[in-house]
Amino acid sequence: MAWFKKTRRPIARTGKAKASRVPEGLWVKCPGCSQAIYNKDLASNLNVCPKCAHHFRVSATERLKMLLDGDWIEHDVSLASTDPLNFTDTKAYKARLKASKAATGLKDAVIVVSGELDGLPVIVASMEFDFIGGSMGVVVGEKITRGIERALAERRAMIIVCASAGARMMEGALSLMQMAKICGALARLDRARLPFIAILTDPTTGGVTASFAMLGDLNIAEPKALIGFAGPRVIEQTIRQKLPEGFQRSELLLEKGMLDLVVDRRELKAAVAQALRFMTCAPAARPNLDIGSSVHSGIDSASAPITE
Ligand SMILES: [Zn+2]
């Protein structure tokens, strides 16, 4: 027997548990490198991890702020789904719509605006993943189509920022028809020789990939974005094979020729502007943008004899 015996008791809590000193939401854990990032640092870095460049998902509105110069005009704000099939799965579709509207402040999963990107007139359709998985129903299809028609009428370039789980099953075949409708409008845009750039973000899947997301004059993706038609789990179960590393991610798709570019979000606006200038033969917004003052004087002195 021991000399002394001490019964172990758990440390007793006195009074109320001490509240955490870190307010909720001030730090974010990066899924890429598991490091804690200060929320403000993340926001100032366009929601890209400063340590490992992991691209966090961003909302449709934040996306517009990143791409456009200043204010924009939003179109077809009032369009909303009427639940044409009176659909119910685990939850009534009407209830899903209501919850998504409350959570995002939007009436459906896309915002279509006209504005300027580095001085170039554009129409941008930006998809909101938080609205029923960015799924494409009748409203999304109609708003994007009207956006393309507006681009045609006003001779603007069209940009669609994709973030979607695919067609909206709660609207059945009606949602599938949007694929053909948008593609038809894009064909008219193509005939009018106006550029269309598809920006594929994490995730772009299903009917969106199978239609307009892959029809860009340029298909640009963000790093490590999940892009595909059926999800990897479904494919694995169907073909009964283990899928390779990086399957359905931007980098592999670029290697296989499915994409034209993979661009870091922090360079995305500049890349899109450069591509649009190339396609529309528009002059640079500010000539000698990246040329230092010393080179300026060099050009001036060189051109001087010619003008005299
Ligand atoms: Zn990270």
Q: Binning pLDDT at 50, 70 and 90, where does residue 116 land?
A: very high
pLDDT digits (tens, 9 = 90+) for 227-270: 999 988 889 999 999 998 889 999 999 999 999 999 999 999 99
Ligand 1 centroid to Cα of residue 237, in Å, is 31
Ligand 1 centroid to Cα of residue 188, in Å, is 42
Dihedral angle, C-alpha 63, 68, 69, 75, nearest 10 °: -110
Ligand 1 centroid to Cα of residue 56, in Å, is 9
Q: Could you tell me where the DSSP H helices lie in the chain?
A: 39-44, 60-67, 93-104, 138-154, 172-191, 206-209, 232-239, 250-255, 268-280, 293-307
Ligand 1 centroid to Cα of residue 200, in Å, is 21
Ligand 1 centroid to Cα of residue 49, in Å, is 5
Ligand 1 centroid to Cα of residue 31, in Å, is 6
Ligand 1 centroid to Cα of residue 251, in Å, is 18
Q: Could you tell me where the DSSP H helices lie in 68-218?
A: 93-104, 138-154, 172-191, 206-209
Ligand 1 centroid to Cα of residue 34, in Å, is 6
Ligand 1 centroid to Cα of residue 33, in Å, is 4
> Which of 4-8, 42-46, 185-189, 215-219 shows the lowest per-residue confidence on average (mean pLDDT)?
4-8
> Which of 41-45, 140-144, 160-164, 288-292 shows the lowest per-residue confidence on average (mean pLDDT)?
288-292
Tell me: pLDDT of 286 over 70: no
Ligand 1 centroid to Cα of residue 204, in Å, is 22
**Exposure string over 153-165, b if 16+ CB within 10 A, otherwise e:** eeebbbbbbbbbb
Ligand 1 centroid to Cα of residue 23, in Å, is 21
pLDDT digits (tens, 9 = 90+) for 127-161: 999 999 999 999 999 999 999 999 999 999 999 99
Ligand 1 centroid to Cα of residue 39, in Å, is 12
Ligand 1 centroid to Cα of residue 139, in Å, is 36
DSSP SS3 for 157 = strand
Ligand 1 ion local residues (Cβ < 5 A): 30, 32-33, 49, 51-52, 54
Helices and strands per DSSP (H, E), number in the chain: 10, 9
Ligand 1 centroid to Cα of residue 307, in Å, is 54
Ligand 1 centroid to Cα of residue 35, in Å, is 6
pLDDT digits (tens, 9 = 90+) for 155-203: 999 999 999 999 999 999 999 999 999 999 999 999 999 999 999 999 9
Ligand 1 centroid to Cα of residue 221, in Å, is 19
